Chains A and B, each alone.
Chain A
Amino acid sequence: MATILSLYDALIQPFVEYGFMRRALVASLAISLGSAPIGVLLMLRRMSLMGDAMSHAILPGAAIAFLLVGSLSPLAMGVGGLVAGLAVALLSGVVSRTTPLREDASFASFYLGSLALGVLIVSLRGSNIDLLHVLFGTILAVDPAALFLIGGIASITLATLAVIYRPLVVECFDPGFLRAVGESGAAYHFLFLFLVVINLVAGFQALGTLMAVGMMMLPAAIAQLWARRLPSMIVIAVSSAALSGYLGLIASFHMRLASGPAIILIASIIYVASLLAGPFGALRRVFARPHLAG
């Protein structure tokens, strides 16, 4: 007998029946709330690839914590990742302010070293399975401790963004004005980099270091194709990230796919669709609507 899934079976039942699916769903929603707005701001600061570099930079911290604790403890690896990420961010900040190297150049140099160190440490002790866990994450194995960490990071991110929204936006859009009114742009810049790092730590718990940045940059790119005001961009980014998380989990459940890549692939599909259909996408150029009278 052919089994035809009802909509309920397909879309809701997995979350009703399995605790790990519920936790994965909550984790991906929390990551969407924190990471997507950060991604939009990163992209507007022309730092899209910085997120990628940063996600590699947190690896040695997580690896050292893994060695010390001896298990894939989310809190220990989170703290380790945080320390490593912040160290790289601060070091490149210092280097770019004291040498002719620009911030992206010094970032690239530090994160490559950091990544090599991380892979080396993991390969020294762990099995290949452990390395795969770190690189690709285990959203279906998110335990309550990891869930609290991810939720906490999302809350801190939203609260901080709410408070520093104006100076952060001005620092990005018109840094001269911020200096002129006597505010320190560097302080907000570093606070923002801190938010980037903790969100990558959250994403890395669930999606691994390679995929964590996907929940930041893909939703941000999608948002740019649909909106021209910052608040609407943030709303669109969060919604598309949440939708990718949900659809990715459903797809991975029914088709037995790895969940992290499934989520990011769904986000990529939304991105390509937006490229074609979005009001600022490619198809609008081809099928331009007639111009207005005035």
Chain B
Amino acid sequence: MTTATIRLHDVTIAYERHPAVHHVSGAFEEGHLTAIVGPNGAGKSTLVKALVGELPLTEGSIDRGRLAQNDFGYLPQAAEIDRRFPLAVADLVMLGAWRETGAFGGATRTTAAKARAALSAVELDGFEKRPIATLSAGQFQRALFARLLLQDAEAIILDEPFTAIDGRTTAHLLEIVSRWGNEGRTVIAVLHDLDQVRTHFPQTLLLAREKVAWGPTESTLSASYLHKARAMSEGWDENASVCEEARWRRS
């Protein structure tokens, strides 16, 4: 059996030829919890989008092992979700059962029961019939977590999942994330709170357009690496020349 380890081989992702992620290589090991940290504009969301296949790579490749596209559960930073859409919370959560129902199949009582359990796990008991438009931002995020729970995905990718969520709920959701780790799922999360990362994520990728460090959290989040990451310039260099490596590869 091949592994579910996700390997990046010299990945570059550029917008209008300016790289947002530049020559990154490494591996998200199967069953590990990895945090991706870095300053604004470091390419974190870009990398994560490429992992789930939302963005094409400019160069390099991603080897997803035996994981197929629908083995990924993905919680985007600002989901392009129309929160005023006339659906009930239960409808939203039960979409997580897509692998069982598919596009056309019906949801069963078991699905409904699982959805109720997932809602209960994010402490939204009794919210099944509420229109999603009536949820607060934090409650909505928890409902999306419930959908992820139901998705039962092998690899789970979270992009700044705790923005707009209060401390108590964050702690609770972090427990769920840790449980995913114990269940052998691969979890990759873009985070800003370094204390959160230190306590809950054994592995860290420190990104500043280029890979600054990738490995055990303690060594990655050392003062010197963090300093190096902070030194990244956020702006594009309008007069940037062609990257030497790309030039070399083309010839």
Which of A166, A181, A227 has a CB less than 8 Å from the CB of B104? A166
Q: How far is the CB of A58 from chain B (nearest CB, A)?
A: 28
Interface range on chain B (Cβ under 8 Å from partner): 20 to 34
Q: A163-B104, A166-B104, A176-B79 are in contact. Are A181 and B98 (CB under 8 A)?
A: yes
Contacts of B98 in A (CB 8 A): 181
Inter-subunit contact B88/A176 (CB<8 Å): no
Inter-subunit contact B80/A175 (CB<8 Å): yes
Q: How far is the CB of B68 from chain A (nearest CB, A)?
A: 8
Does A44 sit within 8 A of B, measured CB to CB?
A: yes
Q: How far is the CB of B172 from chain A (nearest CB, A)?
A: 23
Q: How far is the CB of A51 from chain B (nearest CB, A)?
A: 19
Complex formed: what's the CA distance from A174 to B86 in Å?
Answer: 12
Inter-subunit contact A181/B81 (CB<8 Å): no
Inter-subunit contact B76/A228 (CB<8 Å): no
Complex formed: what's the CA distance from A172 to B81 in Å?
Answer: 9
13 pairs, CB–CB < 8 Å, chain A vs chain B: A163-B104, A166-B101, A167-B103, A169-B87, A172-B82, A172-B85, A174-B95, A176-B79, A176-B81, A181-B98, A228-B133, A229-B86, A230-B85
Q: How far is the CB of B82 from chain A (nearest CB, A)?
A: 5
Inter-subunit contact A174/B52 (CB<8 Å): no
What residue in chain B is nearest A223 (Cβ atoms)?
B86
Contacts of B201 in A (CB 8 A): none
Does A233 sit within 8 A of B, measured CB to CB?
A: yes
What residue in chain B is nearest A177 (Cβ atoms)?
B95
Which of A173, A176, A180 has a CB less than 8 Å from the CB of B85? A173
Inter-subunit contact A176/B80 (CB<8 Å): yes
Q: How far is the CB of A149 from chain B (nearest CB, A)?
A: 28
Q: How far is the CB of B141 from chain A (nearest CB, A)?
A: 14
Inter-subunit contact A230/B86 (CB<8 Å): yes
**Chain B contacts with A in 76-96, Cβ cutoff 8 A:** 76, 79-82, 85-88, 95
Which of B72, B81, B133 has a CB less than 8 Å from the CB of A174? B81
Query: Which interface residue of B73, B82, B86, B87 has the most chain A CB atoms within 10 A?
Result: B86
Q: How far is the CB of A192 from chain B (nearest CB, A)?
A: 14
What residue in chain A is nearest B76 (Cβ atoms)?
A176
Which of B52, B86, B99, B101 has a CB less than 8 Å from the CB of A233? B86
